[in-house]
A and B are shown apart, each in its own frame.
Chain A
Amino acid sequence: MFDLDTALFLWINSLVGAVPLVDRFFFWAMNDYLIPVALSLLSVGLWFSGSSEQERERHQRGVLVAALGLLLVNLLIREMNQVYFRPRPFVDHEVKLLFYKPPDPSFPSNATAVGFAIAAGLGFANKRVGALAYIMAVTLGITRIYGGVHYPLDVLVGALIGYGSSYLVRAILPYLEPLPTWLLKIGRKVHLA
């Protein structure tokens, strides 16, 4: 399994340098700022969107799921990192690195998990916005393999953890009632929801 993972990583990473323009784009897309911030801003936009009160409430619940999913992702990955440490690819292999050397564990990909947690939350509420968010999250994952900071398995598991966290939050949310409804009601009282 790990051999295949490494082989796939080395093949993808070997493409670095072939097209400098692609390298430039991947260099910008793979960092912790461009796509994660864009996804978070998309959440802000979705909070204020909706042609009816019902649609807006669906969107706002989606943003809540994304935010709670994000918290769960951070908790899960923090715990996983205590149990298992997989070194970054550049530690064990000769890698064409597009970015700086992150010191934290390679497995699972934290950035991808964050991207997928937000994308799933938004996707549950609005399919079109969700599709855009998933494209961003997938791009983030692929660029991080290409750029030499993650193995494909790290990204795959990160994506599953991210999606799974938001899915779980969405499933649990009805059991947390009336808390989410109260929160939205307070927001509505101050005219911000």
Chain B
Amino acid sequence: MLEALTLPGLIYFTFIFLAALGVLQIAAALNSLRGLLLVRNKFLSILIGIVLVAGAFVWYLNLTNGFLLAKIEGEQQGILFLLGSSAALLVTLILASLFHWNRSMPSLQETNGLDALKEMTYWQVLRVQLRGKAREKATSKPPKLRR
């Protein structure tokens, strides 16, 4: 895996990171996953997504002289794609949680899969989950016997 961390590898990683960041914004906006959006406006999110994807391709195309200087082997490409897109997802989750930290939280409810991100940020989802677990623990404690 370390072999992938050459200068062309890092440039490819950045290209994938930026493009995946854009794809995530477009997918989140089109599927109402508000917890993944960096800005509240859906239209603006799609626009940001398109600019990120197109910008990443144009930047990489220019930097590698029309891909001629890219020189990333197939296996390396796969690893770097996985790393780049995972990093983009992580950054999206963190930034969306930070940007919307004060978003009103819906009442405590059962959250399921990605649907939870329709109303809450990832940080809020984690908080709801932790609170739910704490409540569960509290209610499952056996009552103390009085003598």
Interface size on A, as a range, is 20 to 34
**In the docked arrangement, what's the CA distance between A47 and B30, Å?**
13
CB-based nearest B residue for A33: B67
A162 on the B face (CB < 8 A): no
CA distance A45 to B31 in the complex (A): 10
Size category of the binding interface on chain B? 35 or more
Contact A27-B66, Cβ < 8 Å, known A37-B19, A74-B74, A191-B117: yes
Asked whether, in the complex, the Cβ of B112 is within 8 Å of the Cβ of A188, the reply is yes
Contact with A along B10-24 (1 / 0, CB 8 A): 000001100110011
0/1 per residue, A164-193, Cβ < 8 Å to B?
A: 000000000000000000000001100111
Asked if B96 is at the interface of the complex by the 8 Å CB criterion, the answer is no
Residue contact A37 to B112, C-beta cutoff 8 Å: no
Q: Is B113 an interface residue (CB 8 A)?
A: yes
Q: State in angstroms the CA–CA spacing of A15 and B85 once bound together.
A: 38
Contact of A41 among B23, B31, B74, B114 (CB under 8 A): B23
A191 to B66, CA, bound (A): 38
Q: B75's closest neighbor in chain A, by CB?
A: A74
- Contact call A187/B61, Cβ cutoff below 8 A: no
Q: Which residues on A sit within 8 Å (CB–CB) of B26? A: 45
Q: Given A28, A31, A37, A192, which contacts B16 in the complex, CB threshold below 8 Å?
A: A37
**Secondary structure call for the B interface:** helix
Q: Cα distance A168–B122 when bound, in Å?
A: 36
Residues of A within 8 A of B117 (CB): 191
Stretch touching chain B among A49-57, A82-90, A142-150: A49-57
Q: Flag whether A5 is at the interface (Cβ < 8 A).
A: no
Checking B24, B61, B64, B112 against A48 with a beta-carbon cut-off of 8 angstroms, the contacting residue is: B24
| Chain B: minimal CB distance from A81 (Å) | 12
B-side residues, CB < 8 A to A, are 15-16, 19-20, 23-24, 26-28, 30-31, 33, 36, 53, 57, 60-61, 64, 66-68, 70, 72, 74-75, 77-78, 81, 85, 89, 111-117, 122, 125
Q: Which residues of A contact B (CB under 8 A)?
A: 27-28, 31-34, 36-37, 40-41, 44-45, 47-51, 53, 56, 70, 74, 100, 110, 114, 187-188, 191-193
